[in-house]
Homo-oligomer: A and B are copies of this chain.
Amino acid sequence: MTYCLAIKVDDGLVFAGDTRTSAGVDDVRTYNKMHITEEAGDRVFVILSAGNLATTQWILNNVKRDLADPDAPVNLRTVRHMYDAAEYIGTLSVRAQKESTAYGQYSNVDFRTTLILGGQILGEDPSLYLVYPEGNCISVSPETPYLQIGESKYGKPILDRIIRPHISLEDATRCALVSLDSTMKSNLTVGPPLDVAILPRNALKITHRLRLDLDTPYYAALKRAWADSLERVFRDDLPKFEWETSQQTML
């Protein structure tokens, strides 16, 4: 499995993901799941991937091939709208799966891949799309300002509690890291290092790109601060049951 997520707040977009790829517990590798295409000042796209690695690489290679081909009917440099980019990626994804299935129809392999495409094109709002293996897509909304792919359940509650459109890009990034950290603690198929990219609204370039391992000072400090804070909240900040307070009164 994998766990990647992208968050849209008023100030822009945050992307984060793990790097563990596994084809069984004895075949574990590290792969970058975050792919950035930047035409600084005009457009930025970030793709996050979860699913069949060969399908994902087929898509990414064809994205590159189309970018280098002046005769390509559509590529990420020529699409007018973010929605067109999402449709284009979806079409590539379906083609990749179709080819693999044609050759691999007698195997039980799952060729599907699910993608998050996010970014901004000059003149448009930043936006995020979840591209399903079937090639169709959905975008975020103000009520649902984040998207997740892969092993999404462990890290969802903290997003539901913290992510609001008005929070800063940095708070959204910290929340994404806590969400990833919680998932890594509970599920072995999600593992470090973690990748982060921050795309502020109208910057039209990735302003911060981080790779965080367990011993990277910032990430180690974040993990410690989060663990300490939660313990303190449980010790000091949650309401006591009535029998606890009455016991105290009786002392």
- Interface hit among A36-44, A64-72, A156-164: A156-164
Complex Cα–Cα for A186 and B157 (A): 7
Q: Which of B185, B218, B231, B239 contacts A221 (CB 8 A)?
A: B239
B243 touches A161 (CB 8 A): no
- Complex contacts, A156 vs chain B, CB 8 Å: 154, 186
B208 touches A243 (CB 8 A): yes
Q: Render A173-186 as a binary contact track against B, CB cut-off 8 A, 1 for contact.
A: 11100000011011
B237 touches A174 (CB 8 A): no
Closest residue of chain B to A152 (Cβ to Cβ) is B153
Count of interface residues, chain A, beta-carbon cutoff 8 Å: 41
Taking the full assembly, how many copies of this chain does it contain? Answer: 2
* Residues of A contacting B: mostly: helix
Check if A103 is an interface residue, CB within 8 A of chain B.
no
Chain A 54-112 residues near chain B, CB threshold 8 A: none
- Complex contacts, A170 vs chain B, CB 8 Å: 240-241, 244
- Complex contacts, A244 vs chain B, CB 8 Å: 170
> Do A239 and B225 form a contact, CB below 8 Å, given A160-B185, A174-B234?
yes
A residues with a Cβ closer than 8 A to B are 153-158, 160-162, 167, 170-171, 173-175, 182-183, 185-186, 208, 218, 221-222, 225-231, 233-235, 237-244
27 residue pairs of the A-B complex, CB under 8 angstroms, read A153-B153, A153-B154, A154-B154, A154-B156, A154-B157, A156-B186, A157-B157, A157-B182, A157-B185, A160-B186, A161-B182, A161-B185, A161-B230, A161-B231, A170-B241, A171-B234, A174-B238, A175-B234, A208-B241, A218-B242, A221-B239, A222-B238, A222-B239, A225-B238, A228-B237, A230-B233, A233-B233
